[in-house]
């Protein structure tokens, strides 16, 4: 297990693995997401109360899932950066923070668009919506802090501390709808309990969530490879790679 862990610390090894994984992630992600979205948006039954407007759930829930999962994985990587000083963990945080920002924004935006016809308002300061907005600012803070410090090592540590501080927000987002009175309803899409929607709505939602996770994996590999090339540009293996035409 430790050998695998140390291998993961080698940018060159990761570069090879990522290159091999990427086509599978891209094809699998596109297929699943397309299947989930077409099924959900065009063929799944209407909701008895909201009619067709509930269909935004097929974009809203996957984005919100990703927004939180990305932050949790960033926190794990931040822990690795602080304790083991592994360079690749920092590359990971740097590569995915903007992706997390985009998904958080998407979740907030689709939520607002959905809130207007169902609740009657774009925005309300309830605990779920506010904690999601804090997550958006955390992502923004992580990106800004990283850009503000020129030295790579001190930037990595400062960012790692900020990410770990912000991780307290994640259980607040998750349980806000149970701990406090909120306008936002409790979770529909649960992995551990029986879902509160029929199979023909739940399955397309599951497909979109899985598809978006795979596409996120592909994007992570792509962004990490770019960052690795920039950081390792003086090493021999990168020079050989470039001379060989990137093959």
The one among 4, 45, 191, 244 contacting another protein by CB under 8 A = 45
Which CA distances in Å does 234 have to 7, 114, 230, 237, 241?
20, 50, 9, 9, 12
Strand partners, 51: 47
The one among 7, 16, 31, 46 contacting another protein by CB under 8 A = 46
Instruction: Establish if 126 lies at the interface with another protein (CB under 8 A).
Output: yes
Instruction: Return the C-alpha torsion angle 199, 203, 205, 211, nearest 10.
Output: 170
Minimum gap (Å) between residue 22 Cβ and another protein:
32
Instruction: Establish if 3 lies at the interface with another protein (CB under 8 A).
Output: no
The piece of 61-69, 104-112, 138-146, 179-187 that touches another protein (CB under 8 A) is 179-187
Q: What is the sign of the dihedral through the CA atoms of 177, 182, 184 and 185?
A: positive
Instruction: Establish if 76 lies at the interface with another protein (CB under 8 A).
Output: no
What are the counts of helices (DSSP H) followed by strands (DSSP E) for the chain?
A: 9, 0
The piece of 4-12, 29-37, 82-90, 208-216 that touches another protein (CB under 8 A) is 82-90
Which CA distances in Å does 126 have to 98, 129, 130, 180?
25, 6, 6, 9
The one among 1, 42, 120, 150 contacting another protein by CB under 8 A = 120
Task: Give the binding site for another protein (CB under 8 A).
Answer: 45-50, 54, 57, 79, 82-84, 117-121, 124-127, 161, 164-165, 167-168, 172, 179-183, 185-188, 196-198, 200-201
């Amino acid at each position: 297990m430790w050998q695998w862990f140390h291998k993961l610390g080698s940018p060159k090894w990761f570069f090879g693995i990522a290159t091999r994984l990427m086509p599978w992630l891209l094809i699998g992600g596109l297929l699943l997401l397309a299947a989930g979205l077409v099924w959900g948006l065009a063929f799944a039954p209407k909701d008895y109360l909201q009619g067709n407007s509930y269909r935004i759930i097929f974009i809203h829930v996957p984005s919100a899932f990703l927004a939180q999962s990305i932050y949790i994985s960033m926190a794990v990587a931040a822990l690795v950066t602080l304790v083991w000083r592994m360079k690749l963990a920092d590359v990971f945080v740097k590569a995915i923070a903007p992706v997390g920002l985009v998904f958080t924004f998407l979740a907030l935006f689709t939520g607002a668009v959905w809130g207007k016809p169902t609740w009657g308002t774009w925005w309300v300061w309830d605990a779920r919506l506010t904690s999601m907005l804090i997550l958006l600012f955390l992502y923004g803070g992580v990106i800004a802090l990283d850009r503000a410090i020129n030295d790579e090592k001190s930037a990595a540590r400062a960012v790692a501390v900020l990410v770990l501080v912000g991780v307290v927000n994640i259980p607040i987002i998750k349980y806000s709808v149970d701990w406090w009175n909120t306008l936002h309803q409790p979770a529909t899409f649960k992995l551990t309990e029986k879902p509160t929607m029929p199979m023909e709505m739940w399955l397309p939602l599951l497909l979109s969530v899985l598809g978006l996770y795979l596409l996120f994996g592909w994007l992570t590999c792509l962004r990490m490879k770019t960052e690795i090339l920039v950081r390792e540009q003086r090493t021999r293996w990168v020079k050989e790679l470039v001379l060989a035409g990137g093959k």
